């Protein structure tokens, strides 16, 4: 039966068989909750293919993807150059021997060092953002000999025990407490609060340059620079979580570049694998890395930085540079935000604000129920979106950076129709 999933042209009966088995097995073997609690979409829609900024379900229904896998599809679905690279790798090598040196790991680390701001130049690879954040906490503890971390209100850093300890969202933390000790929450975007919490016990301060799951919250001018200064004054490492904001999403390679700030460590994930292969990374400078030579295996893992993963990232970087994808994200983001602001103007009683940077955009509703209703209605009009994890009143608009202007205008037209129907 599973071979049907590889078949190109399915008959109506075969489609129905796949739908029936998928929904049955989600309930029996994954979690029936996935079928019950989908907020934005029809819980029985089955993904089948994707191309560019379009996601297609098993019936051939085409969605404009404004969710982008929560930021994974910077180059859209199945970027041809990324697929070509990984196919070539697979004809020669599978994953990683764990013993010989990997030329792919070396080449990607070199490229990241060239792209990243400041003096960051070392990299360790993992498969997910949370894992890389966990590694960064360990690196900070090693480098400073301290064991406390400051984290921001409304932050999201992942769901492993370490990353969750830095994530300040009550509903996803509470069932798992006590979490890892030593994580101190301070108010986001408040330098006085940070200064008050700083001490010579702090190993690192972790923050997103723009809070993604917190509701697409931009920092005030001067905030990130202020964090940098406080870290320097107290000997703590500045750790920027660029898992969602990195790799072009905001119209710069890394989000913090908008504010001219250079961190000691930066974590990357999501888009890094070109939308084809999971790969994440912790990237840092000498200050962060200096103890790791003693035992380079302190923060390694089995799958991170396999040949196919690194090849995808390398191909993605090349295409993004060749096509000016990052610059395009800045221009398209400006257009998208402008059109959305015009669209919400007659519906001010529903909307608290439209904000964004590059193609990381949030539309905040006054009432959470309206955000949920509009996201669902957008789905019925063939646009994929979802609310942000920590702030369900905000619908995120996070399409592939290669989305066309025509597609942007279509999304805004359908969004406008949803607002009219919400009135």
Nearer to ligand PMP, 255 or 333 (CB): 255
13 burial type by CB count under 10 A (0-12 exposed, 13-18 middle, 19+ buried):
exposed
Vertex 76 angle, CA 71 and 80, to 5°: 140
In whole angstroms, how close is the CB of 89 to ligand PMP at the nearest point?
22
What the block records as the tokens of 197 is 């919490």
Q: Which is nearer to ligand PMP, 166 or 320 (CB)?
A: 166
Closest CA to 157 of 76, 233, 106, 213: 213
- The CB-of-284 to ligand PMP minimum distance in angstroms stands at 16
For ligand PMP, the closer CB: 157 or 283: 157
| Residues composing the chain | 423
Residue whose CB is less far from ligand PMP, 273 or 333? 273
Helix or strand or coil: residue 59? coil
CB of 38: closest distance to ligand PMP in angstroms?
Answer: 17
* 386/419 with CB nearer ligand PMP: 386
Q: How far apart are CA 399 and CA 329, in angstroms?
A: 10
- To which H or E segment does residue 203 belong? strand 202-207
Largest CA distance in the chain: 67
User: Measured from the CB of residue 308, what is the shortest distance to ligand PMP in angstroms?
Assistant: 17
How many CB atoms sit inside 10 A of residue 10's CB? 17
**Based on CB atoms, which residue is closest to ligand PMP, 74 or 350?**
74
Neighbours of 419 (CB within 10 A): 19
Closest residue by beta carbon to ligand PMP: 129
Measured between alpha carbons, how far is 110 from 103 in angstroms, rounded to an integer? 11
Cβ proximity to ligand PMP: between 132 and 377 the closer is 132
Instruction: Identify which of residues 158 and 308 has a Cβ nearer to ligand PMP in the complex.
Output: 158
In the complex, least distance from residue 70 CB atom to ligand PMP, rounded to whole angstroms: 5
Structure tokens at 277: 């292969």
Q: Is residue 193 classed exposed, middle or buried when 0-12, 13-18 and 19+ CB atoms within 10 A define those classes?
A: middle
Q: Exposure pattern of 159-175 as b/e (b: 16+ CB <10 Å)? A: bbebbbbbbbbeeeeee
In the complex, minimum distance from the CB of residue 71 to ligand PMP, in angstroms, rounded to a whole number? 7
Tally of CB atoms within 10 A around 274: 31
Which residues lie near ligand PMP (CB under 6 A)? 70, 128-130, 133, 156-158, 208, 212-213, 241, 243-244, 269
Rounded Cα distance, 42 and 6, in Å: 24
Taking the complex as a whole, how short is the minimal distance between the CB of residue 152 and ligand PMP, in angstroms?
Answer: 11
Of 133 and 377, which CB lies nearer to ligand PMP in the complex structure?
A: 133
**Rounded to the nearest whole angstrom, what is the least distance from the CB of residue 288 to ligand PMP in the complex?**
18
Min. distance of Cβ 68 from ligand PMP in angstroms?
Answer: 12
Beta bridge partners of 51: 54
């Amino acid at each position: 039966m599973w071979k049907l999933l590889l078949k190109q042209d399915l008959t109506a009966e075969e489609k129905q068989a796949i739908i029936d088995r998928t929904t049955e097995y989600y309930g029996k073997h994954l979690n029936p909750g996935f079928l019950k609690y989908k907020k934005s979409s029809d819980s029985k829609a089955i993904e089948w293919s994707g191309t560019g900024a379009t996601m297609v379900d098993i019936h051939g229904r085409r969605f404009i993807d404004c969710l982008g896998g929560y930021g994974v599809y910077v180059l859209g679905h199945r970027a041809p150059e990324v697929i070509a690279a990984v196919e070539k790798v697979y004809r020669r090598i599978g994953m990683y021997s764990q013993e010989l040196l990997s030329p792919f790991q070396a080449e990607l680390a070199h490229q990241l060092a060239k792209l990243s701001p400041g003096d960051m130049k070392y990299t360790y690879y993992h498969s997910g953002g949370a894992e890389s954040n966990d590694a960064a906490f360990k690196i900070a503890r090693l480098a400073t000999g301290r064991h406390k971390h400051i984290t921001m209100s409304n932050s999201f850093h992942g769901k492993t025990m370490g990353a969750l300890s830095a994530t300040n969202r009550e509903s996803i933390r509470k069932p798992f407490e006590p979490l890892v000790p030593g994580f101190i929450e301070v108010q986001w975007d408040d330098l006085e609060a940070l200064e008050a919490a700083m001490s010579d016990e702090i190993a690192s301060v972790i923050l997103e340059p723009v809070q993604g799951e917190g509701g697409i919250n931009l920092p005030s001018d001067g905030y990130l620079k202020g964090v940098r200064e406080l870290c320097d004054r107290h000997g703590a490492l500045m750790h920027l979580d660029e898992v969602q904001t990195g790799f072009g999403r905001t119209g710069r390679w890394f989000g913090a570049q908008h504010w001219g700030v250079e961190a000691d460590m930066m974590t990357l994930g999501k888009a890094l694998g070109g939308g084809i292969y999971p790969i994440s990374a912790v990237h840092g400078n000498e200050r962060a890395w200096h103890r790791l030579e003693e035992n380079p295996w302190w923060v390694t893992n089995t799958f991170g930085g396999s040949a196919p993963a690194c090849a995808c990232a390398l191909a993605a970087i090349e295409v993004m540079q060749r096509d000016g994808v990052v610059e395009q994200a800045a221009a398209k983001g400006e257009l998208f935000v402008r059109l959305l602001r015009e669209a919400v103007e007659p519906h001010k009683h529903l909307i608290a604000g439209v904000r964004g940077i590059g193609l990381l955009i949030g539309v905040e509703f006054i009432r959470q129920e309206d955000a949920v209703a509009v996201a669902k209605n957008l789905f019925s009009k063939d646009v994929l979106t979802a609310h942000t994890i920590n702030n369900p009143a905000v619908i995120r608009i996070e399409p592939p950076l290669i989305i066309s202007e025509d597609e942007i205008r279509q999304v805004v037209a359908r969004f406008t129709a949803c607002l009219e129907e919400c009135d």
